[in-house]
């Protein structure tokens, strides 16, 4: 088992397989995109598999693939199939914007993917277009329906709540859980991503979101699932789905943090909001051994900060865009 200096057990690696994305969500990226990591600097699937094997032998058993948009990377299904065969990988999941999901869901399931998170910030076609700069709501919804029919449970719908953008849809999202087997998770808007676009006044905190759900009656708390991480789980009386809250800013979930991140170009990041990076690519490409990789893993654990500093004077926005870290 792996522990950091703050006695948190670290068993989770979030792997960004690409910094490319097929959406241009306004809060994440400018319309023209961001400078991309060159292809030769992106880790090969072989390199990622090696890292997963080595880290798995030390106690990293939970893997999530993200990006950028992971489903646009060529060969992703075959890669997932190889990943799912690694014995130490006990939990394998993927975060996607859902654009390509309808076409790929069956293959992903056959490849061994057990569950999926789909990002969706509006249930209205025009607003979806406005936020993502692409008119693709129907495709995403088709992907969600496909995931339900294939029972890729739990299917988590991640909604980033932003004041004046989608706060009038908070209740509609929760209502989905009344008749669909979905877990709707509200995520506080964080200061990462598109330039200086984040303003504290755009933030809708989890307590404010809970207030907007009062019409639906009391939320019944559910006990944390062992793979939950920082989400708090609830359900509405009589619902078949669940509701989750992820309050990176208001509820300071750092004490429950169990994760490291791997960037597309092979750097471990110890916290979304820390620019400290530990390079694995260079060491692998210079012929480093598995023990060298293990040593870097321990260095990363030692360096993991106790908490982020979003709410304090010490806060500095991170240098990389979210798409190049893996949200």
Q: Which of 128, 186, 189, 245 forms a contact with ligand SAM (CB under 6 A)?
A: 189
Rounded distance between C-alpha atoms, residue 227 and residue 313, angstroms: 32
Q: The tokens of 183 are what?
A: 């877990």
Instruction: Identify which range of 74-82, 188-196, 212-220, 309-317 contacts ligand SAM by CB under 6 A.
Output: 188-196
Rounded distance between C-alpha atoms, residue 275 and residue 286, angstroms: 24
Torsion of CA 147, 242, 8, 18, to 10 degrees: 30
Q: Which of 93, 95, 132, 270 forms a contact with ligand SAM (CB under 6 A)?
A: 95
Q: Which is nearer to ligand SAM, 122 or 323 (CB)?
A: 323
Q: Is 40 exposed, middle or buried (0-12, 13-18, 19+ CB in 10 A)?
A: exposed
Q: Which is nearer to ligand SAM, 27 or 234 (CB)?
A: 27
- Give the total of residues touching ligand SAM (CB under 6 A): 20
- Least Cβ distance, residue 165 to ligand SAM (angstroms): 12
Q: What is the DSSP string of 51-98?
A: HHHHHHHHT--EEEEEES-GGGSTTHHHHHHHHHT-TT--EEEEEE-S
Q: Which is nearer to ligand SAM, 4 or 69 (CB)?
A: 69
**Which residue sits closest to ligand SAM, CB atoms considered?**
327
- Least Cβ distance, residue 27 to ligand SAM (angstroms): 5
Q: Is 268 exposed, middle or buried (0-12, 13-18, 19+ CB in 10 A)?
A: buried
94 Cβ neighbours under 8 A, 6+ residues apart: 64, 65, 66, 70, 71, 80, 108, 113, 116, 117
Residue 220: strand, helix, or coil: strand
Q: Provide the mask over 137-166, with x wherever binding to ligand SAM is found by CB under 6 A and - wherever it is not.
A: ---------------------x-x------
Q: Which is nearer to ligand SAM, 158 or 301 (CB)?
A: 158
- Least Cβ distance, residue 194 to ligand SAM (angstroms): 8
Interacting residues with ligand SAM between 8 and 27 (CB under 6 A): 21, 27
- By the rule CB under 6 A, 132 interacts with ligand SAM: no
Q: Which of 97, 132, 205, 239 forms a contact with ligand SAM (CB under 6 A)?
A: 97
168 Cβ neighbours under 8 A, 6+ residues apart: none
Interacting residues with ligand SAM between 39 and 78 (CB under 6 A): 66-67, 69
- Least Cβ distance, residue 131 to ligand SAM (angstroms): 9
Q: The tokens of 143 are what?
A: 């992907």
Footprint of ligand SAM (CB under 6 A):
21, 27-28, 66-67, 69, 95-97, 119, 158, 160, 187, 189-190, 192-193, 322-323, 327
């Amino acid at each position: 088992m792996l522990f950091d200096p703050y006695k948190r057990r670290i068993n989770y690696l979030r792997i960004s397989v690409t910094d490319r994305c097929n959406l241009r969500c306004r809060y994440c990226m400018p319309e023209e995109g961001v400078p991309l990591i060159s292809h030769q600097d992106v880790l090969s699937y072989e390199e990622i598999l090696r890292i997963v094997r080595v880290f798995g032998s030390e106690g990293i058993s939970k893997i999530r693939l993200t990006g950028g948009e992971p489903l646009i990377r060529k060969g992703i299904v075959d890669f997932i199939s190889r990943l799912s065969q690694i014995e130490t990988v006990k939990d394998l999941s993927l975060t996607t914007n859902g654009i390509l999901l309808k076409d790929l869901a069956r293959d992903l399931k056959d490849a061994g993917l057990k569950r999926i998170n789909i990002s969706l910030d509006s249930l209205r076609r025009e607003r979806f277009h406005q936020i993502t700069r692409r008119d693709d709501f129907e495709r995403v919804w088709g992907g969600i329906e496909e995931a339900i029919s294939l029972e890729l449970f739990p299917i988590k719908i991640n909604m980033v709540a932003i004041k004046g953008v989608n706060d009038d849809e908070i209740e509609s999202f929760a209502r989905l859980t009344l008749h669909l087997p979905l877990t709707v998770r509200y995520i506080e808007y964080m200061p990462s991503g598109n330039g200086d676009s984040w303003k504290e006044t755009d933030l809708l905190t989890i307590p404010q979101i809970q207030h907007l759900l009062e019409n639906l009656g009391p939320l019944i708390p559910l006990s944390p699932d062992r793979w939950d991480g920082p989400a708090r789980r609830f359900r509405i009386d009589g619902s078949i789905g669940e509701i989750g809250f992820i309050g990176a800013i208001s509820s300071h979930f750092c004490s429950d943090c169990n994760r490291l991140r791997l960037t597309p170009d092979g750097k471990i990041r110890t916290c979304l909001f820390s620019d400290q990076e530990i390079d694995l690519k260079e060491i692998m490409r210079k012929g480093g051994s598995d023990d060298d990789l293990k040593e870097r893993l321990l260095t990363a654990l030692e360096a993991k900060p106790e908490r982020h500093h979003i709410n304090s004077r010490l806060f500095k926005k991170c240098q990389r865009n979210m798409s190049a870290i893996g949200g």
